[in-house]
Amino acid sequence: MSLSMEDRDGFIWLDGKLVPWRDSRMHVLTHALHYGSAVFEGERIYDGKIFRLAAHSARLINSAHLLDYEIPWTREQIEAATREVVKANGLQAGYIRPIAWRGTEVLGVSGIGTSVHLAIAPWAQEGRLSVQARDAGINVTMAKYRRPSADFAPGHAKVAGLYIICGIEKDRALKAGFDDALMLDWKGDLAESTGANIFLVIDGTLVTPTAENFLDGITRRAVMGMARKRGWAVEERAVKLQELADASEVFLCGTAAEIVPVGSVDDHHYQSGPCARTLMTDFQKLVRQPDCEGFGESTHLAPASTSLAA
């Protein structure tokens, strides 16, 4: 298979119909290319079904709303199109990238008057992290850029333009020999990595930063739901940078990464502990449940009385 995403066989769903992979094109003067106004999702296929498809499709529509435009397909239509293109490509496992963007009618800072397009492209791809990395944990460094406050950017939208600082920090980390970078928010508290949410185990409690102006990840919700079902104590709160020294485990979670332990954050070192290993096993069961395509867990956590140490 070609390394280029452009030079592949298969089909992409584009504006209401299946199109041969190589024929799915957009013009160089597309608004989204110049002004970053595309919104997108990342989804995973397990045994022919799309994990949390309804939640992803709803978030895609909401991301466009936050950028003040409407995707001209309903959530149900997007879900049907996603299943259609997965079937057309004969995929039982893999990754899906739905993306909506503003077109060519206007090329200027304002996107008023542009048409809105939607493409859904699935391909065969397993997790991007090796088994060795999952066992030993990945090595992470601190990023220089911070996640902006809600006064500066719509951080709850999955917007292409907002990922530029993530890309810069990911590249910087890789060039320095790390696997990823951990970003602070505008206040100096822990936020997330360049493309995944973070959890810490502190004194027997699973702790994760409150998603004030970054994505409340769908896998993040699943992790909290799995922990809650086990009766573990879970806290969403501001997490200070110095609390990295208090953690017995740290792990990241996201659609592509699933759940992956962190072996180090610069000078802080961790073991791939029982919490992460248990959740990794639980997650593989969760994504294969018959109702896995639904919305999943609420972000509102019921009180939990059992610590992870119990």
Q: Residue 221: helix, strand or coil by DSSP?
A: helix
Catalytic residue, from 17, 49, 87, 158: name it: 158
CA gap 40, 30 in Å, rounded: 16
Q: Residue 229: helix, strand or coil by DSSP?
A: helix
**Other CB atoms closer than 10 Å to residue 283's CB: what's the count?**
18
User: What would the two tokens of residue 111 be?
Assistant: 């996107």
For residue 158, indicate whether it is catalytic. yes
| Torsion angle of C-alpha atoms 62, 63, 64, 68, degrees rounded to 10 | 90
Q: Residue 165: helix, strand or coil by DSSP?
A: helix
Q: Residue 183: helix, strand or coil by DSSP?
A: strand
**Beta-carbon contacts of residue 280 (< 8 Å; ≥ 6 apart):** 134, 258, 259
Q: Residue 207: helix, strand or coil by DSSP?
A: strand
154: nearest Cα among 162, 145, 142, 164:
162
* Strand 180-184 versus strand 138-142 pairing type: parallel
Find out whether 276 and 211 touch, Cβ atoms under 8 Å. no
**DSSP H stretches of helix in 137-217:** 164-175
Find out whether 97 and 42 touch, Cβ atoms under 8 Å. yes
**DSSP H stretches of helix in 44-163:** 53-66, 75-88, 131-136
Residues marked as catalytic: 158
